[in-house]
Amino acid sequence: MHVIDPRVPAKVERVVDSFRDAFRLAGTQVVQNVVELDGSELQDLLRMTPNAWHLDDAAWARVAALERTRVTVGLQLLRFRRRGGQRSL
């Protein structure tokens, strides 16, 4: 799974380039939603992002202690089609 910041086109290009030999980009979609998460759920969300590599134990503890919080989750989905006409990825 690749986590991509849709505000950084270079990241999208790098992901597309990494699949270029076997797949072609068939479409993109930006999905954004506001959700309420508690500290444990926020930790789960953060673990799916590059931010997880930069948080120390104290930061993880602060996140875990948070009450329910509204956050905006934004994703850019990339749909690939296998070169040669086979199924999408």
Task: Give the residue numbers spanning the domain of 23.
Answer: 9-82
Helix or strand run (H / E) with residue 21: none
Rounded CA gap, 62 and 1, in Å?
A: 27
- The count of domains in the chain is 1
Q: What does pTM read for this prediction?
A: 0.63
| Domain assignment of residue 60, yes or no | yes
User: Which parts of the chain fold into alpha helices (H)?
Assistant: 9-19, 39-47, 57-64
User: Which two structure tokens, joined as six digits, stand for 62?
Assistant: 């602060």
| Domain assignment of residue 20, yes or no | yes
| Domain assignment of residue 45, yes or no | yes
Q: Write down how long the chain is.
A: 89
Read off the pLDDT of residues 45-72 as tens digits, 9 standing for 90 and up: 999 888 888 899 999 999 999 999 999 9
pLDDT over 70 percentage in the chain: 84
pLDDT over 70 (residue 89):
no
Contact 60, 39 (CB under 8 A): no
| Domain assignment of residue 40, yes or no | yes
| Domain assignment of residue 78, yes or no | yes
